Structure 1
Amino acid sequence: MNAEAAAQASSSSVPSRPIPRKEGHWFWGCALDLAADRTRFLIEGHAEYGDVFVSRALVRDLMFVRDPAVVNAINVTHWSDFYKPDYIKMMWKPFLGNGLVPNDGESWKRQHKLIMPGFHKKRVDAYAPTMVEFTERMIDRWKEGEQRDMRLELNALALEVVADTLFDIDIGEGDSETIRDALADISEILVTDADKMIPRPAWWPTAENRRKKRAIAKIEAIIRRVHQERLTHQHDRGDLFSHMVFAEDEQGRMSDKQLRDEAMTLIFAGHETTAHALTWTWYLLAKSPGKVAKMREELGRVASGRRVEVEDLPKLPYLEMVVKESLRLLPSVWAYARQAQRDLVIEGYEIKKGQTITISHIAMGRNPKYYDNPLEFRPERWTREFERSLPRGAYVPFAAGPRVCLGKQFAMMEMRMILATLIQRLEPNLSEGFEPDFVTELSMHPGERGMQADVRFCEAR
């Protein structure tokens, strides 16, 4: 079935299914409930109102979706009819510009085509030793019994990996604090902007905007320096930025502005969500010693007495099951949004032009229609038969269709390589009496208290 036929099959011109409405405050609507606890709002809203519902936030109706068929239509068959929402573009533009994440239309298509070869499997596989080496280096700095915040440690690790694979620079050698501090400032301000009922334009002369501009300028300086080095030596060093510098189509190479925007996008999107996904996986394994033992037994059979290598990954199915189950139960990307570019009817639901739709990823992963005992951490559920039984759109931690996350393969490999190395050397745990917070901002993370754990080395590989 071609794309046009599939699109027609997934929709009709006449709406046939009413959309339940979740009522809220007479003035605020659902805005305050959303701001107070986003994931709770989604999970409870879908539990009460079903797979699709609407609710008003101030003067705007928001649609929330966990129906696999609707999600698949938005991501795949009707993907070109949905753009990133205007408010997200306004929030991200000063930082990411027209990078792949906020971009749409023909500009997105060109950038995607130019960048995509940089994520070819052979190229990505070459980064695996770096991921293991940096994880080993992190662990080697630790001492038995000391307390560590795994959120901070894994965030720093993921940033080191991105800096090396993106720019071929070791941020431990000078740029570390600059990038980390700048990203921390930008993240904090973006979260503040997202929580505002009426976001402030980037050109307003506020203290926040001035701090954001200073932080962006610091990262831009590093990007310019690396860009100049690549142009001077005219050599692809195997990193993603080198690929982008020399990538070419009939319109030529990317402009300096395009390179800046894509580098910013990869720095930000390429480390935080992975770091938080690993943090939640650590948390789940700390509560599940039996799962850890099963992982360690599998690792012992495949990589006894040595580091894990990328060629080992196909022989480590349980490791992959653990990652998939963690992304289902506690996804760092808890939701994402799209905006309709025209009037549509999808699966009987009427969607008006301009309608903002939230894909409720965390609620999708807890839908009892598809996951028995959905609150249970059970990696064993991810058999091939189970995956084949899921309808399209039921499990899309990296989105799907043409706009599937370009770094999906990179992220899945990174999570498995790092997690395997952690399990080979450490016992996942939480410090005595510690339980994390669950904070949903740009991604879901444990908040300022972090993920406190005690260093407990296990027996040698």
Structure 2
Amino acid sequence: MTPNARLPPAPSGHPVIGHTLDFARSPFEFVDRATNECGDLYRMELPSVNVYVLAHPEFFRQALVTDIDAFGKTDDFQRVFGNGLLSTEGDQWSRQRGILQPLFHRERIEGYGEYMVNATQRRLATWEAGETRNIESEMQDLTLEILFATLFGRELPPGEGNDLRAASDGLNKWFAPTSWLLPNWIPTPSRREFSNSVERLRTEVRQLLAEYDVDSKSEGSSQPNALQHETLLSKLHKAREASGQDQLSTEEVEDQMLTMIFAGYETTAAALGFAWYSLATNPDIRQAFHDELDTVLDGEPPTQADIADLDLTNRIVTETLRLYPPIHTIPRKATRDIQVGEYQIPANEEVHLSIISVHRDERFYDDPLSFRPDRWTEEFEEELPDHAFIPFGGGRRTCIGREFARLEATLVLATIGQQWTLEWAGEDPTITIEPEITTQTKNGLPMRLRQR
């Protein structure tokens, strides 16, 4: 720290344990209180660490663009994703990104649309009118099936990915508030579940790679309904066999698979679940949504060509990503002393970019806690400050799958909404959300299925 440097303020808390109890009891309520008390930059004091929280678009720009070298990845990223794309930095990240980027080029993504719709139709064939399902869990199952149909090039029938999804879900447990607040050496049930899930997921990943190796050596072999183009499995297989800059080690290949499995379905599933909740609790918007689908689609399944005409559906996706960002916080670690605004953050301290705080800030969004897709006009977007809406991160490390995720969310909403109305079946229309790696609900999203 430079002499006379000022640390950011800390909100009121306990003199010994700091903010531990407040955060553990209600994490997002604590975040709201902290920003109200301290403003756009504050210090959260925990027994084992201080966390410096940034809650302004200009601070996001500094951390993600102008001073990106001063904000490195945290140890937690490495712990969860190994040397996958989400956790690596520098040349290793650039090399990995270059190898995987072709899978996410716009032309390639547009070709995935048919497979997204077909996978959704297979899932809908398991639904029955009048039953109640947890849509949060249902969307997780569906987006995993879509991941297999697109990036893996193989069909995963409904119900067959339960072990894989359960193992992937367990990665969230490292970030459960009751565990994350404690020093890493303290064993907790959530941390044990996390460790078991990592091992189970790695076993599943190795099995997938081994199956692909066998298939690739069999002349003329093909998976039923496989995509007739390069897949994540084939891309990683080639990278493992390559040399020089195009090569990935076996460990890196496994880490990429683990990363893509989790990031490839969990975040979009969260957005879809919250979109259905928002529609169910805003019946006027839901009716307008159904009316748009009836007009634009005219009874036919949605296609890539329909996306531009599904104006309200697209704005529903955008507004959901604002109000319920699947990635609520971007964690970083200060690599050196860094001046942010009028305060200094010391080297080696943890830094959190609170996306949900900015997305719900009334300085940038009128009536920010209300679900209002109509706010997303061209004029509004032009006036919105840079980095005031960053559901996929920002800067050069913006999520590689952002266009894939938006296409998937739009087509899934259209496919389901064309055939079904989802009605809220919970006792209380108010839900509690919790911060794990992704934004989760405390008690699920029970929905009653009504066929249109």
Asked if TM exceeds 0.5, the reply is: yes
Q: 1:439 aligns with which of 405, 429, 434?
A: 434
From 16, 19, 29, the counterpart of 1:27: 16
Residue of structure 2 equivalent to 1:91: 79
**Given the two structures, how large is their TM-score scaled by the length of structure 2?**
0.89
8 Å CA contact 1:144–1:457 kept in 2: the answer is yes
Aligned position for 1:172: 157
Classify the secondary structure of the residue corresponding to 2:331.
strand
CA-CA distance at 1:249 after TM superposition: 7.7
Aligned to 2:196: 211
CA offsets 1:85-122 (integer angstroms, 9 cap, x no match): 22x14531xxx210011222221121112111211111
2:128 matched to which residue of 1?
143
In structure 2, C-alpha distance between the alignment counterparts of 1:361 and 1:313, rounded to whole Å: 27
Find the aligned partners of 2:438 and 2:377 in 1 and give their Cα distance. 28
CA pair 406-249 structure 1, distance change in 2 beyond 3 A: farther
Displacement of 1:432 after TM fit?
5.8
Percent of pairs identical after alignment? 29
* 1:266 corresponding residue in structure 2: 260
The answer to whether residue 245 in structure 2 is matched with residue 245 in structure 1 is no
Structure 1 CA distance, aligned partners of 2:367 and 2:304? 33
Alignment-derived partner of residue 184 in structure 2: 199
Residue 112 (structure 1) aligns with: 97
Counterpart of 2:225?
Answer: none
After superposition, what is the alpha-carbon deviation per residue over 1:379-425, rounded to whole angstroms, capped at 9, x for unaligned?
Answer: 01011111111111111011011111111111111111101112111
Say whether the 8 Å CA contact 1:223–1:263 is kept in structure 2.
no
Do structure 1's residue 61 and structure 2's residue 50 form an aligned pair? yes
Paired residue secondary structure (2:206): helix
- Residue identity in the other structure for 1:428: L
Question: 3-state SS of the aligned residue for 2:339?
Answer: strand
SS in 2 for 1:345: strand
Question: In the alignment, does 2:68 pair up with 1:73?
Answer: no
Contact (CA 8 Å) 1:15, 1:349: kept in 2 or not?
Answer: no
Instruction: Report if the CA contact (8 A) 2:6-2:343 is conserved.
Output: yes
**2:86 matched to 1:101?**
yes
Residue aligning to 1:417? 411
Query: Secondary structure at the residue paired with 2:421?
Result: coil
* Offset, 1:268: 0.8
Q: 2:371 aligned with 1:377, yes or no?
A: yes
CA 1:116 to 1:195, structure 2 compared with 1: closer, same or farther past 3 Å? same
Say if 1:370 and 1:241 are closer, same or farther in 2 by CA, change over 3 A: same
Q: CA deviation at 1:149?
A: 1.2
Q: Deviations over 1:339-391 (max 9, x none)?
A: 12122224443232212111111111111111111111110101111111111
Distance 1:364 1:405 in 2: 18
Corresponding residue for residue 133 of structure 1:
118
Partner of 1:10: none
Q: Distance in 1 between matches of 2:289 and 2:3?
A: 51
Give the CA deviation at 1:141.
1.7
CA distance in 2, matches of 1:424, 1:221: 38
For residues 378 and 163 of structure 2, the distance between their equivalents in structure 1, rounded to whole angstroms, comes to 44
Q: In structure 2, do the counterparts of structure 1 residues 71 and 27 end up closer, same or farther at CA, with 3 Å as the change threshold?
A: same
Pairing partner for 2:26 from 10, 16, 37 = 37
Q: Distance in 2 between matches of 1:370 and 1:196?
A: 31
Shift of 1:265: 0.2
- Equivalent in the alignment of 1:326: 320
Q: How many residues get paired? A: 438
Shift of 1:135: 1.4
- State whether residues 339 and 354 of structure 1, in contact with CA within 8 Å, keep that contact through their aligned partners in structure 2: yes
Shift of 1:332: 2.2
Q: Deviations over 1:241-264 (max 9, x none)?
A: 323333568523222221111011
Q: 1:17 to 1:368 in 2, by over 3 A?
A: farther
